[in-house]
């Protein structure tokens, strides 16, 4: 382990003893890092690196002529055995019941329980959003289904099976 500089050791001890807050510690560490540079440029890092590396490679035996590097000595575990174990456990479990068909059946049952009435609609777009104009004695469509208003003017509306406002409120 690389020994920390005295400033950072002081910060670590003050944090453990709750004499400073995290934001205060962060600003101190930032200023120390700005002054000292990255850890691999510290003298303590360089001496620790020499101690860890030694004079020859312990794996292959290359001597002082080789360029020695510090590498990880531990391999991270593979993930696939855990995935396989989870799949095996999942295959032994009973499958969950699919609740969506029942919900769909109930939805259709509610929809079909009320018989829609024949209502006036626009002969062009079949929208129920129409309005009778007394002064002109005609109808106008106020639908905005395709991005633009239909605005079709007609004298005789078409008929369409649809629920009334009262029927919609009852369900």
99-139 tens-digit pLDDT: 999 999 988 887 777 788 899 999 999 899 999 999 999 99
For residue 6, what pLDDT is reported? Answer: 86
What is the mean predicted confidence (pLDDT) over 15-29?
A: 92
Structural domain ending residue among the three candidates 53, 73, 90 = 53
pLDDT at 72 exceeding the cut of 70: no
Of 158, 150, 81, nearest in space to 119 by CA: 158
What's the 3-state SS for 39-79?
HHHCHHHHHHHHHHHCCCCCCCCCCCCCCCCCCCCCCCCCC
Structural domain total, the chain: 2
Residue 149 falls inside a structural domain: yes
- Residue 83 DSSP one-character state: H
**Cβ proximity of 130 and 111 under 8 Å:** no
Q: Tell me what pLDDT residue 96 has.
A: 87
Is residue 7 over pLDDT 80?
A: yes
Question: Distance between CA atoms of 7 and 29, rounded to whole angstroms?
Answer: 8
CA distances 17 to 11, 97, 139, Å, are 10, 54, 81
d(CA 113, CA 96): 30
Residue 127: inside a domain, yes or no? yes
Instruction: Answer yes or no: is 34 within a domain.
Output: yes
Contact, 11 vs 29, CB < 8 A?
yes
Residue 63 lies inside a defined structural domain of this protein: no
Residue 147 counted as domain residue: yes
Question: Is residue 42 in some structural domain?
Answer: yes
Domain that holds residue 21: 6-53
Give the least confident one: 5-9, 155-159, 166-170: 166-170
Q: Which residue has the higher pLDDT, 82 or 59?
A: 82
95 within domain boundaries: no
Judge whether 112 lies within some domain: no
């Amino acid at each position: 382990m690389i020994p920390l500089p005295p400033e950072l050791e002081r910060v670590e001890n003050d944090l453990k003893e709750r004499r400073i807050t995290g934001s205060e510690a962060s600003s101190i560490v930032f200023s120390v890092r700005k002054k000292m540079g990255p850890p691999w440029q510290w003298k303590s890092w360089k001496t620790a690196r020499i101690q860890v590396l030694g004079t020859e490679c312990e794996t292959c035996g290359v001597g002082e002529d080789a360029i020695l590097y510090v590498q990880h000595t531990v391999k991270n575990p593979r993930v696939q055995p855990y995935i396989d174990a989870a799949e095996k456990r999942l295959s032994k479990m009973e499958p969950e019941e699919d609740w969506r068909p029942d919900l769909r059946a109930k939805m259709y049952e509610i929809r079909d329980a009320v018989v829609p009435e024949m209502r006036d609609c626009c002969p062009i777009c079949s929208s129920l959003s129409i309005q009778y104009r007394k002064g002109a004695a005609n109808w106008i469509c106020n639908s905005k289904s395709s991005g633009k208003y239909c605005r079709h003017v007609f004298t005789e509306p078409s008929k369409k099976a649809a629920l009334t406002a009262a029927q919609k409120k009852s369900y």
